[in-house]
Amino acid sequence: MLQWIRSYAFLIAMYGGMAVIGLGLFPWALTSEHAARRVAKIWCRWTLWCASWMVGLKTEVRGEIPTGEVLIASKHQSFLDIIIIFDAVPAAKFIMKRELLFTPVVGQYATRIGCVPVDRGKKGAAIAGMLRAAKASNEAHPGQLIIYPQGTRVAPDVKAPYKVGASLLHGYLKQTCIPAATNVGHFWPRLGVYRKPGLAVVEFLPPIGPEVTKAEFLSHLEEVVETASDRLLKEARDAAR
């Protein structure tokens, strides 16, 4: 019961912080992309700090943190992996569903830092639009472009296919891809309020070069990300015993 109370209090602190920080510093965010990014990072660090003492959820980033103009293809289990990655890398921007642009605070900041909205209902047309928008974003907002190759949040132990969009983006942009694994879904579920204490990890894995073919890319990406994510999940479960 106490952990439930802590979890509710944490959500209030997290979303309350989003409103206070995001709206209170919005005039500064309007001055430049750098300022908008700094405000977003302030909120990320506020959230990670609150999680650490309010619900006992610590976070850790492993592997070499990407700093250049690269594509990051990450396992996506909950909102927490978004927060950890954004806080870790210097200039993150996301491939995101278009509806999020209309979310208060989130949408305004996503636009300012160069996130790429995708209309998921249009399939082929959506992919073509994503490729063009990603290239334009890279030119206007250099940094680390993050895609979730399964297209949505996937809970631990649930299998979901890796979609072709990540492979097409890798081939089109001709950038190095950094795979990323995580176990955050064990502590912070896709849905629900309850947060478990423990150590949530995002791990950056060895790069996949731009010379890797489309045929090889997706299967290799899935293998390394799923293997590493399963290892991190086992680590989290073993620590809880």
27 lies in a domain? no
User: What pLDDT does residue 122 have?
Assistant: 64
Is residue 116 predicted with pLDDT exceeding 80? yes
Question: pTM for this one?
Answer: 0.94
198-204 sheet: strands from edge to edge: 57-62, 198-204, 177-182, 71-74, 144-147, 92-97, 116-118
State in Å, rounded, how far the first CA of the chain is from the last one: 20
Rounded distance, CA 57 to CA 49, Å? Answer: 9
214 lies in a domain? yes
Please give the residue range of the domain that contains residue 174.
58-240
Rg, the chain, Cα only:
17
Is residue 121 predicted with pLDDT exceeding 70? no
129 lies in a domain? yes
Q: Do residues 216 and 187 make contact, with C-beta atoms less than 8 angstroms apart? A: no
For 129-158, what is each residue's pLDDT tens digit? 889 889 999 888 899 999 999 989 999 999
48 lies in a domain? no
Number of domains observed in the structure of the chain? 1
190 lies in a domain? yes
For 191-213, what is each residue's pLDDT tens digit? 899 999 999 999 999 999 999 98
For 55-105, what is each residue's pLDDT tens digit? 999 999 999 999 989 999 999 999 999 999 999 999 999 999 888 888 888
Q: Do residues 182 and 74 make contact, with C-beta atoms less than 8 angstroms apart? A: yes
Distances (CA, A) of 116 to 54, 101, 141, 146, 217: 33, 10, 11, 10, 22
Domain CATH for 158: 3.40.1130.10
Distances (CA, A) of 127 to 60, 131, 167, 241: 33, 6, 11, 44
62 lies in a domain? yes
Q: Find residue 203's DSSP bridge partners.
A: 62, 181
23 lies in a domain? no
189 lies in a domain? yes
